[in-house]
A and B are shown apart, each in its own frame.
Chain A
């Protein structure tokens, strides 16, 4: 462990409570080869149990595509994106959000 920490900024929105989406920043210990998914797992397990995202029950290999989202604005798979420095994680679409990074059926024609 190098002791290095990175800032992971996550899109938050609970349509049942929040008027507007907002961004929350978490400090996560850096580990070589860690993925955006491992950062989310770390946050959920250790920092904030209210965070919603699709974690992996089985795949975690980039096959199922369930964890598709935006990493620093670029579309990718959270489980396959290796991170090295501060990042921002957002849902693929800002429409049809169920909670945070969990998106239901995106409205057609919008993103």
Chain B
């Protein structure tokens, strides 16, 4: 896109209100400012900032496993994962409630004595990359998985791509994960060992996400399917629930709970809907001169935020999934 007809002074003023001296945090946006000034074309694109979905919990924050509770970003919540600021409120509220409920559960059911031997296979599994003599290094495999996730599981998805990605993940699980070996056998901050352990969870969670994305044959929120560019309120006011059953991921659905505002019926073209939403929002729309100025300011801010995200290295999405993996371990 270009600055086009928007006068440079207007844009500069709007930007200065949020990004003084073309700085965002430690990011230097001055090159972007220069490009706006010279009216050069600027490339923008959709990126991932956070990820929706999480561990299914009930109103007591209990998971499908009796006595196991989940709270915060790893659980189903309104903010998804990696909304650092918004998630803090959620974490505190969830955490307090989940902790109280877990305490009640433990009080009622007592704690079981655990046989130490039960942990041996898990320990052995975790230690395998450390004892294995192998030239297959976890870091390279991890990076490849991240790059593939970035390519196939961004906000814009498509059937063939998702199917290929699932096949790729199955290949990694079968041919690579069982052969990872670390260079150093040290147990002290061994990054390769951490990578190897996390990679298993990453691959598992990425597959879960991809299966869910493939299953949802409509577009909604941060899930845009190029091959199904409609929001389908007749068939998809539903949540996908993915369950691991005898080693296979089984998809089921449950209806979403609607409390007061009924979504419109029928199929709506996703991109048109987004455009209309942007235009009708009271804080960015309207017809007054002031509202017009505000609309422009908002557009600039959205654009700048987009551009600032663009300068982050790729693989953000896989890393976010990796965070999820760590939290749900």
Contact = CB atoms under 8 A, between A and B. Distances in A.
A17 B140 CA distance: 26
Interface stretch (A3-11, A21-29, A53-61): A53-61
B119 interface: no
A16 B186 contact: yes
Looking at A38, A58, A77, A102, the one whose CB has the most chain B CB atoms below 10 A away is A58
Nearest to B313: A60
A45 interface: yes
Interface string B116-136: 000000000000000000000
A33 to B, nearest CB: 9
B319 A58 contact: yes
Looking at A49, A53, A61, A98, the one whose CB has the most chain B CB atoms below 10 A away is A49
A99 B189 contact: yes
Contacts of A61: 25-27, 308, 312
A80 B183 contact: no
A38 B315 CA distance: 14
B316 A58 contact: yes
Of the four ranges (under 10, 10 to 19, 20 to 34, 35 or more), the interface on chain B belongs to 20 to 34
B186 A14 contact: yes
A26 B244 CA distance: 45
Of the four ranges (under 10, 10 to 19, 20 to 34, 35 or more), the interface on chain A belongs to 20 to 34
A57 B322 contact: yes
A110 to B, nearest CB: 20
B320 A58 contact: yes
Interface in B306-329: 308, 312-313, 316, 319-320, 322-323
Interface in B155-203: 182-184, 186, 188-192
B143 interface: yes
Contacts of B312: 60-61
Nearest to A16: B188
19 contacts: A17-B186, A44-B139, A48-B183, A49-B139, A49-B191, A49-B192, A50-B186, A52-B189, A53-B191, A56-B319, A57-B322, A60-B312, A61-B27, A62-B25, A62-B27, A63-B25, A77-B26, A98-B189, A99-B188
